[in-house]
Amino acid sequence: MFRFVLMPVFLGFASMAHAQMAPSSSEVAAYQGLHQAAHHGDVEAIQRLTASGADVNSRDRRGRTPAHVAAFASQDEALQALAEAGVDMNALENQAYDVVTIAAVANDPELMALALELGNDPGLTTSPYDGTALIAAAHLGHVGIVRRLIDAGAPLDHINNLHWTALMEAVVLGDGGPDHQNVVRLLVDAGADKTITDGDHVTPLEHAKANNYTEIVEMLEQRK
């Protein structure tokens, strides 16, 4: 019964964490200044340009700062240099993604750790779905990222505009396999509220039962 109701939602939103738009090849080719240096990881150019007064928080046509560009390119040293020059680590680009959420979707733990160290708030409301980095990571089954975000104090029970929490997404949009099982385990052990329902008043446990996710059902029933 629940599965019949859920399938249209699943089909409509299963790839939502991938709604991020990294710079296209044409955008990269057109980049100049700090955006170009960030993409290529050119620390010397970043230091030279910022020392000359370049705006470290300048934005491209999609609202990406050089920090976003460095994150999409996984240029950790460039991100460090930009932070030292005063970049806003909590800036959101036009789709409302920050560096931490970019790292979460990319399953890039080193970038995630650096962004958190540089002051990126793990609890920001991000994405067109008013979610969080933790919700995105839970949806994708990125176990190590989920663990890091929990340790950093990310909100466990944030509800996005689909009325889903990280726990709900791990069940509804997960595949029930080992990664999503581990995500559910981490969230529940950290204190995530198992009673928060979706917009149809269905609990994560009921979803897990409807999808025949036996291990997750047992986990949700046994863990208090």
pLDDT digits (tens, 9 = 90+) for 108-166: 999 999 999 999 999 999 999 999 999 999 999 999 999 999 999 999 999 999 999 99
Structure tokens given for 209: 């039962």
Q: Domain residues for 134? A: 1-18+97-224
Question: Among the three residues 74, 94, 114, which one is the final residue of a domain in this structure?
Answer: 94
Between CA 97 and CA 184, with CA 132 as vertex, the angle to 5 degrees is 140
CATH number of the domain enclosing 164: 1.25.40.20
41 Rama class: left (phi>0) / alpha (psi -120 to 50) / beta: left
Question: Among the three residues 64, 94, 124, which one is the final residue of a domain in this structure?
Answer: 94
- Give the total number of structural domains in the chain: 2
- For 148, counting Cβ atoms within 10 Å of its Cβ (0-12 exposed, 13-18 middle, 19+ buried), the class is buried
Is residue 58 within 8 A of residue 91, CB to CB? The reply is no
**Do 74 and 162 share a domain, yes or no?**
no
**Do 57 and 153 share a domain, yes or no?**
no
| Per-residue confidence band for 19, with pLDDT thresholds at 50, 70 and 90 | confident
**Do 147 and 179 share a domain, yes or no?**
yes
